[in-house]
Chains A and B, each alone.
Chain A
C-alpha cells in the first residue's frame, strides 16, 4: 500500500516557466516532508523540506507547499532551468524512517 504517492510519472516544462510537482500521502501522522532530486547514475540529493507545522517553505527558486487537510504537498520551481531536469522524489518521515514516492521525471526544455 503506497503511503506516499506521486501520480504524475513525468512532467515537461519550458525553460523559464514554473514547474509544479505534486505529492499525496495517506498517513496523517507524518510530521516532516522532504523533496529529493536524482540524476541518472547518482544517489538522490536533498532539495528542500517542510515541517507539518508550516504550510510553506521557500529556498531560492524552490518552494514547497503543504496542505495538511488535503494530505497534499507540492514543489514549485520557478523559473525552471534545463539543469533542473531530473527525477524528483517526495518523502515523508514516518517516526524515524523516510517513505518515498515513486518519483516524477521533470524535463525542462529550452
Chain B
C-alpha cells in the first residue's frame, strides 16, 4: 500500500525486555514522527526526523527510548528494559515536508503491552 506501515501491530513483552518497533513511511516523505497514546491520554510527541538534520528528541521520556532512521526512510523505535508504564499505542507519521502547511499521515500504530 501507499500509506504509512507499522509493525508489529501488537506486541506483548515481559517487563525488562527490549522491544523494537518499525515504521515504513510514505515513499518520498522527508519528515517522520513518532508519537504514543497511553490509555485515556492524547498523542504524546516522542521524536521527529527531517531529512538529514539532527532529530528532535525532545519528547523521548527517558534514555531507555531511542530511535533511528536509516537512509532517510525506515525508522525503528527501540525501548530498552521495558516498564509497565511504557504500555501504549505507538504511532508513526510522515509528511512530505516538515516546515510547510502539509498534514502528517499516520500509520495504524503498534499496541505495546508490557506485562
Contacts of A51 in B (CB 8 A): 101
**Residue among A44, A45, A49, A100 with most chain B CB within 10 A:** A44
Q: A10-53 toward B: CB 8 Å interface, digit per residue (1/0)? A: 00000000000000000000001010100001111110010100
Given contacts A43-B91, A43-B109, A46-B105, contact A97 B99 (CB under 8 A): no
Tally chain B residues at the interface, Cβ within 8 Å: 24
Q: Are A100 and B42 in contact (CB under 8 A)?
A: yes
- B35 to A, closest residue via Cβ: A100
The answer for the CA separation of A6 and B104 in the assembled complex, in Å, is 20
- Count of chain A residues near B, Cβ 8 A: 23
How far, in angstroms, from A99 to B45 measured CA to CA in the complex?
A: 7
**A46 to chain B: which residues have CB within 8 Å?**
103-105
Q: Which 6 A-B pairs have the closest CB atoms?
A: A43-B106, A102-B42, A100-B43, A96-B98, A46-B103, A97-B48
Q: Which residues of B contact A (CB under 8 A)?
A: 4, 31, 33, 35, 41-45, 48, 50, 56, 91, 93, 98-99, 101, 103-109
Q: Could you list which residues of chain A lie within 8 angstroms of chain B, going by C-beta atoms? A: 6, 32, 34, 36, 41-46, 49, 51, 89, 91, 95-103
Can you show 6 pairs from A to B with CB atoms below 8 A apart?
A6-B42, A43-B108, A43-B109, A44-B43, A49-B103, A96-B99
